[in-house]
Structure 1
Amino acid sequence: MRPIVALLLLVLASVAGAQQRSIDKEVLVAAPIGEVWKAWTTRDGIVSFMAPDAEIEARVGGAFHVHFDPLAAPGMKGADDMRYMALQAPTLLSFDWNAPPHLPQVRAQRTFVVVRLKEVDAASTRVTLHHTGWGEGGEWDQAHAYFDRAWGAVLTNLKKRFDSGPVDWSDWMARLRKMHEQPAATPAARP
Structure 2
Amino acid sequence: MSRKLKTIIENNDIYFDFVINVPVSGVWKQLTTEEGIKSFFAPHFKVDFEVGGRFEILFDTAQEAGKQGSEGMTILALEKEKLLSFTWSAPPEIPTIRLQRTMASFYLFEESGKTRIVFRNIGFGQGEDWRKARNYFIRAWGEIVLPRLKYSLEVEAINWLNMQSIEPINYSQ
Instruction: Note whether the superposition's TM-score is higher than 0.5.
Output: yes
Which among 127, 136, 158 is matched to residue 126 of structure 2? 136
Contact 1:60 1:86 in 2 (8 A): yes
Q: Which residue of 1 aligns with 2:39?
A: 48
Separation in 2, partners of 1:77, 1:147: 16
Opposite residue 117 of structure 2, the aligned amino acid is V
Is 2:138 the counterpart of 1:148? Answer: yes
Where does the alignment leave 5 or more consecutive residues of structure 2 unmatched? 1-9, 164-173
Which among 128, 152, 157 is matched to residue 161 of structure 1? 152
Contact 2:53 2:74 in 1 (8 A): yes
- SS of alignment partner, residue 55 of structure 1: strand
Give the number of the structure whose residues are more often helix, by fraction. 1
Contact 2:22 2:115 in 1 (8 A): yes
Separation in 2, partners of 1:46, 1:70: 16
**RMSD (Å) for aligned C-alpha atoms:** 1.4
Shift of 1:126: 0.8
Alignment of 1:69-84 (within 5 A): 69-84=60-75
Shift of 1:121: 2.1
Q: Which residue of 2 aligns with 1:185?
A: none
Identity %: 37
* RCO higher in structure (CA 8 A, sep ≥6): 2
Separation in 1, partners of 2:72, 2:112: 35
- SS of alignment partner, residue 64 of structure 2: coil
Opposite residue 128 of structure 1, the aligned amino acid is V
Contact 2:12 2:134 in 1 (8 A): no
Opposite residue 76 of structure 1, the aligned amino acid is K
Q: Which residue of 2 aligns with 1:34?
A: 25
Q: Which residue of 2 aligns with 1:24?
A: 15
Opposite residue 140 of structure 1, the aligned amino acid is W
Shift of 1:171: 4.4
Contact 2:58 2:68 in 1 (8 A): yes
Separation in 1, partners of 2:65, 2:33: 21
- SS of alignment partner, residue 30 of structure 2: helix
Separation in 1, partners of 2:151, 2:39: 10
TM-score w.r.t. the length of structure 1 is 0.76
Where does the alignment leave 5 or more consecutive residues of structure 1 unmatched? 1-18, 173-191
Shift of 1:20: 3.3
Q: Which residue of 2 aligns with 1:177?
A: none
Separation in 2, partners of 1:64, 1:43: 11
Is 2:90 the counterpart of 1:99? Answer: yes
Contact 1:117 1:128 in 2 (8 A): yes
